[in-house]
Amino acid sequence: MKLIGPFKQIITLANLPLRGKLSDDQLEIIEDGGILMEDGKIVQTGNYEKLKTVIPHGNVSLHLEYTEGVQICMPAFTDSHTHICFGGNRANDFAMRNAGKTYLEIAESGGGIWSSVLQTRIASEEELLESTLERINSLIFLGITTIEIKSGYGLDVENELKMLRVIKKTQALTKATLVPTCLSAHLKPRDYGGTTQEYLHYIVDEILPKVKAEDLAKRVDIFIEKSAFQPEESREFLLKAKALGFDITVHADQFTPGSSRIAVEVGAKSADHLEATIEEDIEYLAYSDTVATALPGASLGLGEKFTPARKILDSNGILAIASDWNPGSAPMGNLITQASVLATFEKLSTAEVLAGITFRSAYALGLEDRGKLEKGKKADFVTFKTDNFQNVLYHQGSLKAAHVYIQGEKVQAHV
């Protein structure tokens, strides 16, 4: 049994509800606290000096890990939507977009998603593994210990499986939890001769059975948009994927509304993006268990409006916040900065932001064993060298994590 502390403040997020708005006075803040844990799970949080008097059971001894200096502690973060397995670079896309070029003009000049597909296809598994692991380590450095990673830059059997195999191999090289998602339905590849509907049948018949056979992913995603896949063919695809035993998530309402309703109707775990979501669909989401995932990195990367996070919370919806880290529309990758900026524009409380990047985002991935510092939860947490937890969002990502713990073991330190 191990006791870590003392911390100036522990923000446990205990007893906060899964859905709806939150005020900061709902936060449980333990002063001069400690975390008692065993076998990678939390046994108890409370006053550090009092926890030192806990008598371990049986032959178990109590190991003390002393925290030097003034630090605060909170649950480690979950990034529930990323595309960090990719080859190449799209800096030219960003420069062209800022210079006023349209999405179509960028695509016609060789940029866009298809550019990432071509660069990912020519990358070897070893190259993809190395770059993906580097990005994972940078996320751990930020205090993120659970990371969803999508395929979607292969778009044929060989290359989609290559991406998902890389993600599986990467899991063996990191202590972070990786959640792979098959996004073969990112868009119809240019070298596929059939229609979008025929390509979706190809995914169902040729890709998903192999993904399932090799246990490469338990989740399937689709991009429903005018430039990708249309609503009715997407609904059919999602129901088929669900019938194969996959959990469902959806890229919804990024530029045009309506697809979030499909996500709810098919029982998706989450509907992600939602920048174009209209009022009636916000209500539809709010009355469901589908998590509304805001991706402020895409808004910042594209210069588009933000997800209506305030309205979603006020309607009693479940709001998660993720980075959408990808080589094109959201290249930043810093979830803390993005969440802090979203809070400024959408007037989110600190409690709402912290919930959105911890237990609510973990719920979007089907993981309810983390995101709160309370008995029985996974002992994943992050510390910052400050005397006030509000400084984490106040500094908008420039206050770096001091230490990151996964299952109670220190995995990263900021120097």
Residue 47 β-bridge partners? 33
Q: Does 415 have pLDDT greater than 50?
A: no
| Tokens 């080859």 belong to residue | 87
Which listed CATH number (3.20.20.140, 3.40.50.740, 2.40.50.140, 3.40.47.10) goes with 77-364? 3.20.20.140
Other Cβ atoms within 10 Å of 288 Cβ, number: 19
pLDDT at 59: 74
Q: Which residues 6+ apart lie within 8 Å of 280 measured at CB?
A: none
Ramachandran category for residue 396: left, alpha or beta (phi over 0 → left; psi -120 to 50 → alpha): left
The dihedrals phi and psi of 208, each to the nearest 5 degrees, come to -60, -40
Q: Nearest to residue 10, comparing CAs of 65, 89, 71, 58?
A: 71
On the question of a cis peptide bond just before residue 6, with omega within 30 degrees of 0, the verdict is: yes
Report pLDDT for 214: 98
Cβ atoms 401, 409 nearer than 8 A: no
pLDDT of 414 above 60: no
Contact between 111 and 105 (Cβ < 8 Å):
no
Residue-wise pLDDT tens digits, 158-188: 999 999 999 999 999 999 999 999 999 999 9
For 91-112, what is the mean pLDDT?
85
DSSP characters over 41-88:
EEEEEEEHHHHTT---STT---EEEEPPSS-EEEEPEEE--B-----S
59-63, 119-123, 366-370, range with the lowest pLDDT: 59-63
Which residues does residue 294 pair with via DSSP β-bridges, in sequence order? Answer: 321
For residue 402, the tally of other CB atoms under 10 A from its CB is: 21
The residue extents of the domains of the chain are: 2-75+372-413, 77-364
Contact status, residue 223 vs residue 342, Cβ threshold 8 Å: no
Kindly give the pairing relationship between strand 319-321 and strand 291-294.
Answer: parallel
**What single letter denotes the amino acid at residue 3?**
L
How many percent of the chain have pLDDT more than 70?
99
pLDDT score at 103:
74
Q: What pLDDT is attached to residue 412?
A: 64
Report the alpha-carbon distance of residue 33 to residue 6 in Å, rounded. Answer: 5
pLDDT at 108 over 90: no
Summary mean pLDDT of the chain: 95
Rounded to an integer, what distance in angstroms lies between the CA atom of residue 409 and that of residue 412?
9
* CA 137 to centroid of chain Cα atoms: 15
Read off the tokens for 53.
Answer: 């008097």
Torsion angle of alpha carbons 44, 45, 49, 53, nearest 10°? -10
Say how many Å lie between the first and final Cα of the chain, rounded: 28
Whose structure tokens read 């299952």? 407
pLDDT digits (tens, 9 = 90+) for 215-253: 999 999 999 999 899 999 999 999 999 999 999 999 999
Question: In 290-396, which residue ranges form alpha helices assigned H by DSSP?
Answer: 296-302, 309-314, 335-346, 350-356, 359-364, 391-394
Q: Is the dihedral of CA 66, 70, 74, 77 positive or negative?
A: negative
Nearest alpha-carbon partner for 357 in 295, 269, 274: 295
Burial class (CB in 10 A: 0-12, 13-18, 19+), 70: middle
Whether residue 56 is predicted with pLDDT greater than 70 in this model: the reply is yes
- The answer regarding whether domain 2-75+372-413 maps to CATH 3.90.1330.10 reads no
Q: Taking the mean position of all CA atoms in its chain, how far away is CA 114?
A: 23
Backbone dihedral region for residue 292 (phi beyond 0: left; psi -120 to 50: alpha; all else: beta): beta
Mean pLDDT of 292-320: 97
Whether the per-residue pLDDT at 104 is higher than 80: the answer is no
**Strand bridging mode 72-75 / 381-384:** antiparallel
Report the pLDDT value the prediction gives residue 107, as an integer from 0 to 100.
79
Rounded-to-integer distance, Cα 322 and Cα 189, Å: 26
DSSP-derived secondary structure letter, 266:
T
Instruction: State yes or no: pLDDT of 383 exceeds 80.
Output: yes
358-373: average pLDDT: 98
